[in-house]
């Protein structure tokens, strides 16, 4: 479902990425002209047309084997910011390899429900200790 909550929109976004479903992916985005998407090493894409065009090219080879992990959520009444690692399963000439992307997804609660307004992804660490993905370190006490 797209729009019931920020988490549901995020789940639909990653489902669309995995399936290479352009229509579902675009349904996750808010209808505002100011939506923005940045891929690792790529330019800032502004608006639906630019975002759709780039994803059409990406999906020409099928979906992306990406799984969101280690999601940290900050949510308010009308907006939500999710910081996460994206685990990507790459097929290389040396065999399967895991890749990591650091991503931030920003959602707004619109008239059509929760929608993505910004996706910013950067190349992540070369190696991530998978055993540490579920460890939560409490924030230090400030007072």
Q: Domains of the chain, with CATH numbers?
A: 6-126 (3.10.450.50)
CB of 18 within 8 A of CB of 63? yes
Q: How many residues does the chain have?
A: 143
Report the SS3 class of residue 125: coil
Those residues whose C-beta lies under 8 Å from the C-beta of residue 104, and which sit 6 or more positions away, are 81, 82, 83, 84, 118, 119, 120, 121
**What is the pLDDT, as a whole number, of residue 98?**
86
pTM of the model: 0.85
**What is the pLDDT, as a whole number, of residue 115?**
97
Cross-sheet strand order for the sheet of 36-38: 44-46, 36-38, 113-123, 95-110, 79-92, 66-75
**What is the pLDDT, as a whole number, of residue 1?**
59
- Counting as low any pLDDT under 70, the low residues of the chain are 1, 3, 127-143
């Amino acid at each position: 479902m797209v729009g019931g909550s920020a988490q549901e929109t995020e789940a639909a976004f990653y489902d669309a990425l995995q399936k290479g479903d352009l229509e579902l992916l675009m349904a996750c985005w808010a209808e505002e002209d100011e939506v923005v998407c940045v891929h690792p090493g790529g330019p800032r894409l502004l608006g639906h047309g630019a975002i759709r065009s780039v994803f059409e090219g990406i999906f020409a080879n099928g979906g992306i084997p990406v799984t969101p992990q280690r999601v940290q959520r900050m949510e308010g009444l009308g907006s939500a910011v999710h910081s996460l690692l994206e685990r990507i399963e790459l097929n290389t000439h040396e065999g399967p390899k895991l890749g990591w992307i650091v991503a931030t997804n920003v959602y707004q609660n619109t008239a059509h429900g929760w929608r993505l307004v910004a996706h910013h992804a950067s190349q992540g660490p070369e190696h991530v200790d998978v055993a540490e993905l579920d460890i939560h370190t409490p924030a230090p006490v400030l007072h």
